[in-house]
Amino acid sequence: MKWLNETTLQGEKVRLIPLQATHKDALLAAASDGELWKLWFTSVPTSKNIDAYLDFAFQEAAVDRALPFVVVDTKTDQIVGTTRYCNAEPKNRRLEIGYTWYAKRCQRTGINTEAKYLLLRHAFEDLNCIAVEFRTHWHNMPSRNAIARLGAKQDGVLRNHRVDVHGVLRDTVVFSIIDSEWKSVKQSLEYKMQAY
């Protein structure tokens, strides 16, 4: 029996819906806002590699290791980015939230905060997770700061964790929120969302 079943997560600013192949053009349009693929420390698809990007997401979902979503701005009803549960371990009730990116116009607008809130609430309250991880590139300071603002704590740094497409070694910063912290993290996120 699968642990990660397709679901829609509805908020006021965003709606997270299961990623479909038909979302390809909308994702490329969102990524073009800010030319996000130029960020060397993150992985945003281009027209050249989006098919492989989508195929990997669907393959991981098929074996219960991922649940990918597109992020829809409820004001415009447009897809503005993507995020997913990944590296899921159903037996250990752990997963990671990753592969997150948004069109430049949506950054620092409260969209990410609400999307993460919806994902964390579903993870802890419906999937009964004991821990949710976040990982990012050592040099991706905006992402590191955003993760810390969510209330996640830094677990450590995985040195020489990955080799990127250019052959450069990546150090990965690992953060997490554990189940005993969820109540206070939830309260903090709900307070922050009122400010947007």
Question: 105: burial class by Cβ within 10 Å (0-12, 13-18, 19+)?
Answer: middle
One-character DSSP codes across 53-80: HHHHHHHHHHTTS-EEEEEEETTTTEEE
Greatest C-alpha distance within the chain:
43
Instruction: Spell out, as residue ranges, where the chain has pLDDT lower than 50.
Output: 40
**What would you report as the CA-atom Rg of the chain, rounded to the nearest whole angstrom?**
16
Structural domains in the chain, sorted by start: 9-194 (3.40.630.30)
Decide: helix, strand or coil at residue 189.
helix
pLDDT at 32: 82
pLDDT at 48: 87
Nearest to 107 by CA among 34, 191, 18: 34
pLDDT at 36: 53
